[in-house]
Amino acid sequence: MSPEIIYTPDSLLRRPRFLLWTMWHDLLASRELAWRLMVRDIRAQYRQSFFGFAWSFIPPIVMAVGFTLAGNSNVINVGETDIPYPAYVMFSTSLWQTFIDAVTGPVQAVTKAKPMLARVNFPREAIILAKVGEVIFNFGIKLFLIAGIFIWFQIAVPWTIVIAPVALMHLILLGTLFGALLSPLGVLYQDVQRSLTIITGFWLVITPVVYPVPKEGLFGLLVKLNPVTPLLVTTRELATTGVLSEVPGFWVVSAGTFVGLIVVWIVFRIAMPYVVERVSS
């Protein structure tokens, strides 16, 4: 006999054991579905595109060319970077792009899945997991570009590059944390997607992507308080110099990310039925 499922108006938080059991159960159940959705989305994404994989390369290259030209003509003064500046920008932009994909991915995916959400009761986690998978896949494509840069600029690779994927994973999870938190709201209000564009624009400015970490001033403080900074910088340092400058910050943000993910997961689960209720089927 299969177990009995009960739907009541009460908050799931009043039934913590049931909540945790369903969360665990749905996480297991959603693995295969997440894989399917990921394969579906990636195939559709590249099949309907002429340039295909090139779209992963173009933004970092454009950024690098732009900022290198600006730096050379002294329009902006970014200071010394550990590795050649174009390589620095291209690599950092790839990392940043990956983070932003992890933020916007869940919001867009949940909004796009509206008709499906309104009709089928499948584990909602699958949408988020599929997006995380897609972000990782897209970064994998960018790896070709990154490898190319490293060879072209003859950057020596330290042994710590082996751990870099771990730090990168933390960066992706931080992005997913924000994305998953915003996604239920994003289905209800279009404001979320609009403000995301503005926020990520500003966020880029206070993240050391096109400049090295500043030490002084209000700007330096903003950059320091930015949770993306330690994760992105540590990933970059692990892959390039091997000398880490943001270790405490890295652990603080990582711990926060993991605790936050559990909380956001619960919020997401509780919020989804209310969201589905407000969208038509």
Partner 1 sequence: MVTQVEQQATVPTVARSEEDVVLSVNDVSKKFCRDLRKSLFYGVQDIVSDLMGGRRHSETLRSKEFWALQAITFNLHRGEALGLIGANGAGKSTLLRILSGLIKPDKGCVKVRGRLAPLIALGAGFNPILTGRENIYANMSVLGLSTQEIEDRFDDVVDFAEIKEAIDAPVQTYSSGMAARLGFACAIHTEPDILLIDEVLAVGDIRFRAKCTRKLAEIRQKGTSFILVNHKPAAILSICDKAVYLKQGRVLSAGDTNLIVRQYEEDLMLKDVGSVDNQIKLPPKADHESSGIDITHALFRDEWGQAIASIYMGQSVYCCVGLQVRSPFQGIYWKCKISDLSRESETVLDLNSDYDGCLFDVTTGHQEMQVKLPTLGLRPGVYTMDIYVVKKPQHCFDIVKNFKFGVEIPPDSKFLIERNLYYQQRQWSLRSC
Positions in the binding site for partner 1 (CB under 8 A): 1-14, 29, 32-33, 36-37, 39-40, 43-44, 47-48, 113, 115-122, 184-185, 188-189, 267, 270-271, 273-278, 281
Q: Which is nearer to partner 1, 106 or 208 (CB)?
A: 106
Q: Which is nearer to partner 1, 120 or 156 (CB)?
A: 120
**How far apart are CB 279 and partner 1 at their closest, in Å?**
9
**How far apart are CB 83 and partner 1 at their closest, in Å?**
40
Q: In angstroms, rounded to a whole number, what is the distance separating the alpha carbons of residues 142 and 130? A: 18
Q: In terms of residues, how long is the chain?
A: 281
**How far apart are CB 115 and partner 1 at their closest, in Å?**
7
Q: 262-267: long-range contacts at Cβ-Cβ below 8 A with a sequence spacing of 24 or more?
A: 264/177, 264/180, 264/181, 265/23, 265/125, 265/180, 266/13, 266/19, 266/23, 267/181, 267/184
The tokens for 129 are: 């997991």
Q: In angstroms, rounded to a whole number, what is the distance separating the alpha carbons of residues 162 and 168? A: 11
Q: Which is nearer to partner 1, 40 or 194 (CB)?
A: 40
Q: Which is nearer to partner 1, 116 or 247 (CB)?
A: 116
CA angle 197-193-224, nearest 5°? 45
Q: Which is nearer to partner 1, 5 or 75 (CB)?
A: 5
The tokens for 123 are: 């584990």
Q: In angstroms, rounded to a whole number, what is the distance separating the alpha carbons of residues 48 and 100? A: 22
**How far apart are CB 191 and partner 1 at their closest, in Å?**
11
Q: Which is nearer to partner 1, 225 or 267 (CB)?
A: 267
**How far apart are CB 275 and partner 1 at their closest, in Å?**
6
Give the number of other CB atoms < 10 A from CB of residue 40. 11
Q: Which segments of 153-190 does DSSP mark as H helices, in order?
A: 164-188
Q: Which is nearer to partner 1, 3 or 217 (CB)?
A: 3
**How far apart are CB 268 and partner 1 at their closest, in Å?**
10
User: What Å distances lie between residue 246 and 9, 149, 190, 232, 236, CA to CA?
Assistant: 47, 24, 36, 10, 11
Give the number of other CB atoms < 10 A from CB of residue 71. 19
**How far apart are CB 266 and partner 1 at their closest, in Å?**
8
